Amino acid sequence: MKDIVFLIQCSDNKGLLSNITSFFYENKFNILNCQQHTDLYTNKYFMRIKIDMADLKISRKKLEGNFAQFAKSYDLQWSIHYSDYVPKVAVFVSKTSHCLYDLLVKAKENDLNCEIPLIVSNHPDLEYVADQFKIPFYSYDINKNNKLEKEVEIQELLKKHHIDLVVLARYMQILSGGFIDNYKNKIINIHHAFLPAFQGANPYLRAYERGVKIIGATAHYATVDLDEGPIIEQDVKPVSHELTAGDLKRIGKDIEASVLSKATKLHLDNQIIITNNRTIIFS
| 39 counts as catalytic | no
User: Which residue of the set 3, 55, 181, 227 is catalytic?
Assistant: 227
Q: How far is CA 225 from the centre of its chain?
A: 17
Assess contact for 149 and 143: CB atoms under 8 A.
no
Cα separations (Å) of 91 from 119, 165, 218, 275, 282?
A: 5, 9, 17, 25, 25
CA distance 49 to 244: 47
- The helix (run of H) or strand (run of E) holding residue 19 is helix 16-26
CA distance 140 to 155: 12
Other beta carbons within 10 angstroms of residue 121's beta carbon come to 25
Give the phi and the psi of residue 230 in degrees, each rounded to 5. Answer: -55, 130
| Beta strand residue intervals within 24-134, DSSP E | 31-39, 44-52, 77-82, 88-93, 115-121
Question: Can the peptide bond before residue 196 be classed as cis, meaning omega within 30 degrees of 0?
Answer: yes
Other beta carbons within 10 angstroms of residue 265's beta carbon come to 18
Assess contact for 135 and 163: CB atoms under 8 A.
no
CA distance 86 to 162: 11
Assess contact for 205 and 265: CB atoms under 8 A.
no
Assess contact for 117 and 90: CB atoms under 8 A.
yes
Residues shown for the chain: 283
Which residues participate in catalysis according to the annotation?
Answer: 227
